[in-house]
């Protein structure tokens, strides 16, 4: 008998389209600077210049990563006059990031060889 988690995984995510979508999002999250930008956006809407200031990385690099996050539908863009603001598209992104960080920390803590 399947557990509720296994049932959810087999019905929703394990379809070819579901796995392809998950891989698409995972690839967008597979960069430390993008993760830092997402973390920054958990505090609300921000402009590129504000993110640059907070993270200490170049404006072109922040813009590049925001473009990738937008392409992956992880951030929303809002134009207000001459300014462009970015925000997380869904608060579940932060939950996923926290779960992933916890998993990675646990796995690496128990690792005995590289």
Quick: pLDDT tens for 2-61: 555 555 555 666 789 989 999 999 999 999 999 999 999 999 999 999 999 999 999 999
Assess if residue 61 is contained within a domain.
yes
Sorted by sequence, the CB contacts under 8 Å of residue 22 that are 6+ apart come out as 13
Give residue 64's domain range: 30-104
Whether residue 71 lies inside any domain: the answer is: yes
The predicted model scores a pTM of 0.82
Residue 75 counted as domain residue: yes
- What domain count does the chain have? 1
Q: What is the CATH number of the domain that holds 78?
A: 1.10.10.10
Q: Is residue 85 one of the residues assigned to a domain? A: yes
Residues 95-109 have a mean pLDDT of: 93
The model's pLDDT over 60-79, given as tens digits with 9 standing for 90+, comes to: 999 999 999 999 999 999 99
Q: Enumerate long-range contacts of 40-45, CB under 8 Å, 24 or more apart.
A: 41/75, 41/86, 41/87, 41/88, 42/88, 42/94, 44/87, 45/78, 45/85, 45/86, 45/87
Q: Is residue 18 part of a domain?
A: no
pLDDT at position 77, please? 97
Structural domain includes residue 45: yes
What band does 112 get if pLDDT is binned at 50, 70 and 90?
A: confident
Q: What does the pLDDT read at residue 7?
A: 56
The pLDDT score that the predictor gives to residue 23 is 93
């Amino acid at each position: 008998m399947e557990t509720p988690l296994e049932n959810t995984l087999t019905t929703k995510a394990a379809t070819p389209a579901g796995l392809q979508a998950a891989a698409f999002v995972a690839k967008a999250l597979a960069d430390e600077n993008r993760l830092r930008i997402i973390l920054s956006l958990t505090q609300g809407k921000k402009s590129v210049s504000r993110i640059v200031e907070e993270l200490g990385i170049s404006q072109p690099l922040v813009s590049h990563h925001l473009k990738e996050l937008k392409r992956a539908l992880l951030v929303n863009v809002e134009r207000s006059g001459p300014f462009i603001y970015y925000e997380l598209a869904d608060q579940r992104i932060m939950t996923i990031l926290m779960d992933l960080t916890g998993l990675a920390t646990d796995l690496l803590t128990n690792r005995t060889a590289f």
